[in-house]
Structures are given as structure tokens and as C-alpha cells.
Structure 1
Amino acid sequence: MQGLAEFILRGRRQATLVVGLSIAVPMLFWFGAVAMALVLLRRGWSEGFPVLVWASLPAVAWALLGDPTPLMVLLGCSALALLLRQRSEWSLVTMAAAPLGLVFAMVLLATLQCPLQEVAEQIKSALPQMLTELSADVDEAALARLQALMVPLLAGLMGATHAAMTLVCLILARAWQARLFNPGGFRSEFHRLRLAPWMSIALVVLVFVGPQIDSLAMLAPIATVPLLFAGLALVHGVVGIKRLGIGPLVVMYVALIFVWQVLYPLIMFLAFIDSLFDFRSRLQPVSGPGGNDDSNGQG
């Protein structure tokens, strides 16, 4: 992988070739977004813009064929990469994923209206039986309102998924960059990721209040994304401080797949509490972390 990264950063032609081919190949668009973010993180906008223009052509072709995901992830990851290069603040970048997810949701709602409506109708018809099986006590008025909000909630959920995918691509690009130019730098960066109190409070309000207001319902699932990544960073940071090894992280991610209904809210809750009390600073040794954390590697 190091050889491939060096090839990508050798020049515009090489970067355009890798990013463009990755976007053109089905299900490999995410790697194109990672490679594009690597170019922008290392070389900046002036060097990355021509690569982005040419690499966007296959993504536009996919969008015209009915799949806007490659284009959205490519452009979204590029925007977040530029923000990270300029500010070097993961909390700000993570928070920026929320409005980005809203844009994704609105695009998906506009381009996939019919498929979303069909899925919503299927869920609506199955919803009463699902609630009965879960022994959930929901009155008819609440059920009718939930069914009415099904389309925007689905769009918000898809927007949140795309925003999370974009953040993952950026994380991979940053880790790749750090491995080349500043080994260990990304680990230190990610372990320090913590939302400011105002950020977490605003997100929690959107999560809980959003479904109660029709115009904000779409934002509820999107607002969970920054909290999720901040919570994951908290767990990584605590595991690193306590030197617990990779075992707890493997258990967490496996559990997140199989019992996400329980673990997802728990991780969000931990991120919210950590934004108020900063657990890692209380656990950190007095000497603090060492090393150079500037993994921008600009040059």
C-alpha cells in the first residue's frame, strides 16, 4: 500500500489514473475517495483540483445512471479533506459531517423519490405488526405520525450512512498519510477527538427533538453521526491510555455489528458525557502524550 500511495502522490497523471479508475469500477468508489483525499491532504487544492475534475467524470456518469453515491462520497470526502488540511481539528471536521449528511439526504430525496416512497410504503404496512412483536405500546395517532414521517426519516438515515462513509474514507486517507510522513500521528489525532460541549448539546437536541418537528425529522439520524465517531474516538483513546491492546476494540466493533441497537446509543451517550467532562484528560498521565502530531505533511 505504501508503494501505491507513493505512486498516487508522484504527480497529477498518476493520481487521476488511480482515482478515476477506482470511481469507475463498481463498489470501489470508496477507494477513489480515499485516494482523492490523500492528494488533497498532502498537496492541497491547487494540485488536487485538476485531479478532482477529471476523476469526477466517472462519478457523474454513475449519477446519470441513477447512482449518486460515488459522486457524493467523492465530493464530500474532498471537502472534508480540505477542511482538515486547513484547520487540523477533527472535532470541526466531524461536526461538518452533519450538514454534509443533510445535503446528501436532500439529494437522495430528490433523485430517489420513487424508490424511497416504495420502501416507506412497505415499512408502513409492516410497522404495526413489528411494534406488536416488540410489545411496544404506541397509540394510533403516534403510529400515523411515524408513518407520515417515514420518507424523510429514510432519507435522513441514508444521508447519515453516506456521511459516515465519507468520514471513514477521510480517516483512511489521513491514516495513510500519517503512515507515510508521520508514523503514529493519526493515532494521536484520533485519540484526542472530542466534541465541544455546544456541539454535543446541539446534536443531542436534534436527535431527540427532531422527530417531534416535521421539518427537522430528517436531521435526527444525521445528527447521530458526529456523536458516533466522537464516541468511537473516546473508546480508542481510553484503550490507548490504558494500554489494553486491540482486543477491546475488536469486541466493540463486532458487538456494534450484532447489537447495534444497544451499542450505538451507548456510544453516543458516552460521547455526549465526554464532551462535558473530558474523561481522557483525567486518565492521561501527567507527562501527557509525546511525539509530533502534525500529520499534514504539507510540502
Structure 2
Amino acid sequence: MRGPLQAMLVTAALALVSLVPILGVVSMLSGAALALVTLRHGARQGITVLLGAGVITGVFMYFVFGAMALGFVFLLLWLPLLLLALVLRSSASWSIVIDAATALGLAGIVVFYLLTGDPVQFWQNVLSQMVELMSAQGGGMEGMETIQNQLPMFSRWLTGMLAGALVMGQILSLMVGRWWQALLYNPGGFRQEFLELRQSRLAAMVLLAILVLSLPDLGGVSDMAGDMMIVMVTVYSIVGLALVHALVDRTGRHVGWLVALYLFLFILPPQAMLLLASAGFADSWVNFRRRLSSLQQKSDDDRNDNQ
């Protein structure tokens, strides 16, 4: 918040730190820094920081690794985040932001299918080359054979998994940036926004349509719909998480319920995400928060009548 140069340096530095394998999660903070600037100061400063941080990372990668283009990969990750931050800044609606992030993820899958023709074959070729390279560098033959046998399964789901991970990363970065903004200028504001996060019935109908297309064997259409379902489940798991936080808050439950939930997410992430996504999907139709408020109001009215 002190100025564009400081924001560029922080954004670029966090991005470069995230290149360390065990510190990849730091990339989320890099995006959050960009999101904070955009949310607070708008598109002009957001674009300035994005381009400046991109140049810094590119120059650093050139002098260290001799490949400037690698540094500008971050621009491809920051640009959608900048757009989502502008959507949130103008709408102040997380539901609209989630819809926009989902649309970007689904559009990315469509474009990838159009560019590659057959994403499964594309990933098989890429992964096969990686396995061969690992084998040439001294990997155990038995282990390499096992990996080689599993390539078709990995290739089938890799497009959707990458798209889902990118969409989740964008949303989480934006949430951290919004949280920082609230800490500085509106304490408690982000918490209230997060607790109210839910999706519309229209979004739920899109999920149903994609699910229907993914079930029959329609070749590339079903494959694409299957990848899209991974993105939808990822997005709705975030919505479901917000729902659980809201219900725990409104019912006064112990924080241990949330601790148990996050442990479940850590130990069995696919199962936990599917369960949360189901809860978020159901909330689009039922609106559990409103029903809970109605029940609490009815209970209070009955108590007052008895008195």
C-alpha cells in the first residue's frame, strides 16, 4: 500500500520464492498482493504492478537460468486474478466472482481441447517424455514401469485437475487479498462476506447440465464435460466450506467442528471436497442459512409466547 514499486517488489519476490518446490503455496500470497492493490486502487495500479512484477521476475529468471520467458509465466497466472479482483471491486459480490472464476476455468478447458485436439494423448506424450527423462537420469526400472502403466489414468484427468487447481488458486489468492484489505480498512468485513457466500440456482443448473453430458459415452464431449466437472466440484467445495463456517457460527458450535473438517480435508482431500461440494450444491436450492434463521426466529417467538 506504500506505492507501486513496493507492491511490484513484494509480488515478484513472493513469486520467485514459490519456485522453491516445498514453498509453492507462497505463489498464492504473490497473487494476493496483486489482488490487494487492485481491490484498493483499481485497474490502473493493478495493471502497473502486474507488468512491473512480470518484468522483475523475467529479468531475474534470465540472469539466473538464462530463460526470461519462464518468468513471464506468472503473467498468465496474474491476469485472470486481476480480472477477478476488478469484478469483486465493482460488484462486491463473491457469488459473481465465483461465477466469473468458474467461467474462466471452463473456457480454459474448451480452448485447451481446441488447441490440442486430444488432451489425453497430449498429456500421455508429455508424461512419457518426462518418464523417459527420469529413467535416463537413473530412475529405477521397476518404478518407471509402474508409472508408465499409470500414465493413461493420469492423462485422462490431468486437464481437469490442473484447471481445478488453477481456479482454486485464483479464488484463494483473491480471498487472501480481500482479507488483507479488510484487516487494513474494514475489520471483520471479509469474514461477513465469506459467511454469506453461496451460489445461485442457475449455477447449480449449469453443474447439472455438465454432469449429464459427462455420464454417457459421447467421446470428446463427455471427456470435456468430465474435466469441467472437476472444476465445478472444486468451486462448489469452496462454497460448501463457507456454508459449514456459517452454520457453525450461527449455531454457536465449538470451533472443534471446523478443526475436524480441515483435518478431513488434509487426510482425504478428494472425499472431503466432494462432500463439501454436495453441501454447496444443495444450498443453492435449499438456502440452509435462511432456513436456519427462520427456525431460530420461530424458536424465539415460541419462547416469548410461553413467557
Q: TM-score range by the shorter chain?
A: 0.7 to 0.9
Q: 1:261 Cα deviation (Å)?
A: 3.6
User: Is 93-102 or 82-91 further displaced after alignment?
Assistant: 93-102
Alignment of 1:103-114 (within 5 A): 103-105=107-109
CA contact (8 A) 1:116 1:154 kept: no
The one of 238, 244, 258 equivalent to 2:253 is 244
CA contact (8 A) 2:35 2:174 kept: yes
Q: CA 1:65–1:116 in 2, change beyond 3 Å: closer, same or farther? A: farther
Equivalent residue number for residue 275 of structure 2? 266
Bigger helix share: 2
Equivalent residue number for residue 31 of structure 1? 29
Q: Which has the larger radius of gyration?
A: 2
CA contact (8 A) 1:23 1:32 kept: yes
Equivalent residue number for residue 95 of structure 1? 99
SS at 1:195 equivalent: coil
SS at 2:197 equivalent: coil
Equivalent residue number for residue 197 of structure 1? 201
Q: CA 1:63–1:268 in 2, change beyond 3 Å: closer, same or farther? A: farther
Q: 1:203 Cα deviation (Å)?
A: 1.6
CA offsets 1:2-59 (integer angstroms, 9 cap, x no match): xxxxxxx111122122112222332333222110000001111122221111112355
CA contact (8 A) 1:98 1:163 kept: yes
Structure 2, gaps ≥5 residues long: 62-66, 132-145, 298-307
Equivalent residue number for residue 296 of structure 1? none
Q: 1:117 Cα deviation (Å)?
A: 3.4
Q: How many residues of Structure 1 are paired with residues of Structure 2 in the alignment?
A: 258
Q: 1:67 Cα deviation (Å)?
A: 8.9
Q: Hey, what's the Cα distance between the residues in 2 that align with 1:116 and 1:102? A: 22
Alignment of 1:202-221 (within 5 A): 202-210=206-214, 212=216, 213=218, 214-215=220-221, 216-217=224-225, 218-221=227-230
The one of 61, 70, 75 equivalent to 1:71 is 75
Among all aligned residue pairs of Structure 1 and Structure 2, give the percentage whose two residues are the same amino acid. Answer: 31
Structure 1, gaps ≥5 residues long: 1-8, 128-146, 287-299
CA contact (8 A) 2:234 2:273 kept: no
Letter in 1 for 2:267: F
Alignment of 1:79-228 (within 5 A): 79-105=83-109, 117-119=125-127, 125-126=149-150, 151=155, 153-210=157-214, 212=216, 213=218, 214-215=220-221, 216-217=224-225, 218-228=227-237
CA contact (8 A) 1:80 1:96 kept: yes
Q: Hey, what's the Cα distance between the residues in 1 that align with 2:105 and 2:147? A: 23
Letter in 2 for 1:167: I
Equivalent residue number for residue 57 of structure 1? 55
Q: Hey, what's the Cα distance between the residues in 1 that align with 2:9 and 2:45? A: 15
Letter in 1 for 2:69: L
Q: CA 1:184–1:176 in 2, change beyond 3 Å: closer, same or farther? A: same
Q: Hey, what's the Cα distance between the residues in 1 that align with 2:285 and 2:148? A: 39
RMSD, matched Cα: 3.1
In the alignment, is residue 13 of structure 1 matched against residue 18 of structure 2? no
